[in-house]
């Protein structure tokens, strides 16, 4: 076991884990960030998407050792003091989810996108979401949610 320090949602963690542990397992099983799901565990579906140093990344394809010292954001880090972020509120109002299993990953890809590109067009949104598979929605409501989130963030 190796001591690894990483920051998650602004909170510093020190864990003693096998450094080849997938980050997704570390977050969900060890550190209790249950929002981060795994669906294919092979880096295709994007359900495990988190942000590492601001970038959208697939946490199932990162080893714990790789993120030592990094700042990770999970879906739990979107809200502030129990208040939903504009992205989350937009997703509720636009019905941008159904079963909800892909939703945390989609939210993190969205947060990363809107940080980099506050006013994306539809093509840019679809590009950003290419690595997030949703089996339920057909994506239209998700894209509507991202557009609404962009609007709300710009209004802030």
Partner 1 sequence: MLEEAEYHRADSLADAFDVLSEHPDAVVVAGGQSLGLLVKEGIVSPEVVVDIGHIDALRGIERDGDVLRIGALTTHRTVETSSLVAETVPVLAEAASQIADVQIRNAGTMGGVCAYADPTADYPPVLMTVGATVHAASPDAEVEYAAADGFFAGYYESALADDELVTGVSLPVLGEGVGAGFEKLAYRRNDRALVNAAAVVEVDGDACTAARVAIGGVGDTPVMATEAAAGLVDADLTDADLAAAAERAREEVPVFPDPLVSDEYRVAMVETLTRRALTTARDRATADR
Partner 2 sequence: MSESPASGPGGTGVGRSVTREDGRVKVTGRAEFTFDVELPNMLHAAFVRSPYAHARILDIDTSAAEAIPGVHAVLTQADFPGTKFGDGVFDQTCLADDRVLFEGHFVAVVAAETKRQAAAAVQAVDVEYEPLTPVVDGEAAFSKDPPAVVHPDLHSYETAAVLPPTFVEDRPNVYQHYTVRHGDVEAGFEAADRVYEDTFRTAPIQHAPMEPHMAVAKPEGDGELTIWTSCQALHKIRHTTARILGKPAAKVRVIEPFVGGGFGGKESPLLEPIAGRLADVTGRPVRVVHSREEEFKNATISGEVRTTVKTGVTEDGDIVARKVEALLPGGGYSSTGFMVARNCTFGIGNSYSIPNLHVDTYAVYTNTPVTGSYRGFGNRQVLFALESQLDEIARDLDLDPIQLRRQNLLAEGEVTAFNEERTHVASGAILDELEANLPEPVAPEGPWTSGVGVALVNKYSLAPTASSAIVKVHPDSTIELRYSSDEIGQGSTTAMSQIVAEEFGVEPETVEIVRGDTAVTPFDQGSISSRSTFNMGNAVKMACADAKSELFEHAAETLEIPPEDLETSGGRVYPKGDPDAGIAIEEVFTKAIYESGYFLRRGGEIIGKDTWNVEAGDPEPGKIGRVNSFYSEGAAAVALSVNTETGEIRLDRLVGVFDVGKAINPKLVREQIIGAFSMGLAGALYEEMVYDQRSGRTVNANYSDYKIPTAHEHPFDIEPIFLELGHPEGPYGAKGIGEVPTVALIPAIANAVRDATGHRFSELPITPEDVVLAR
Pairing of strands 49-52, 55-58: antiparallel
151 near partner 2, judged by CB under 8 A: no
Per the structure block, which two tokens stand in for 71?
């700042």
Residue 72 host element (H or E): strand 71-73
DSSP 65: G
Q: How far is CA 4 from the centre of its chain?
A: 21
CB-nearer residue toward partner 1: 122 or 127: 127
Of partner 2, partner 1, none, which one does residue 65 interact with (CB within 5 to 8 Å by kind)? Answer: partner 1
Residue span 15-54 as binding mask against partner 2, x where in contact by CB under 8 A, dash where not: ---x------x--xx---xxxxxxxxxx-xx-x-------
Contacts to partner 1 from residues 60-119, by CB under 8 A: 60-63, 65-66, 68, 109, 112-113
Tell me whether residue 38 or residue 88 sits nearer to partner 1 (CB atom).
38
Residue with tokens 């290419």: 130
Total site size for partner 1, rule CB under 8 A: 30
Site residues for partner 2, 55-84, by CB under 8 A, read 74-76, 78-79, 84
- Listed in sequence order, the residues at least 6 apart from 119 whose beta carbon sits closer than 8 Å to its beta carbon are 150, 154
Dihedral-angle region of residue 119 (phi above 0 means left; psi in -120 to 50 means alpha; beta otherwise): beta
Residues that bind partner 1 (CB under 8 A): 1-2, 18-20, 22, 41-43, 46, 49, 55-58, 60-63, 65-66, 68, 109, 112-113, 127-128, 130-132
């Amino acid at each position: 076991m190796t001591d690894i320090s990483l920051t998650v949602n602004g909170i510093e963690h020190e864990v003693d884990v096998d450094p080849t542990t997938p980050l997704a397992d570390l977050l969900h099983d060890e550190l209790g960030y249950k929002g981060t799901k795994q669906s294919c565990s092979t880096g295709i579906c994007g359900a495990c998407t988190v942000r590492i140093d601001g970038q959208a990344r697939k946490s199932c394809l990162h080893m714990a050792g790789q993120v030592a010292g990094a700042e990770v954001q999970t879906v739990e880090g979107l809200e502030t003091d129990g208040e939903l972020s504009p992205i989350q509120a937009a997703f509720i109002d636009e019905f941008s989810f159904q079963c909800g299993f892909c939703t945390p990953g989609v939210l993190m890809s969205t947060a990363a996108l809107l940080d980099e590109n506050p006013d994306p067009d539809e093509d840019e949104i679809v590009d950003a979401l290419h690595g997030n598979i949703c089996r339920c929605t057909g994506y239209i409501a998700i894209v509507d949610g991202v557009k609404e989130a962009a609007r709300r963030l710009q209004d802030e």
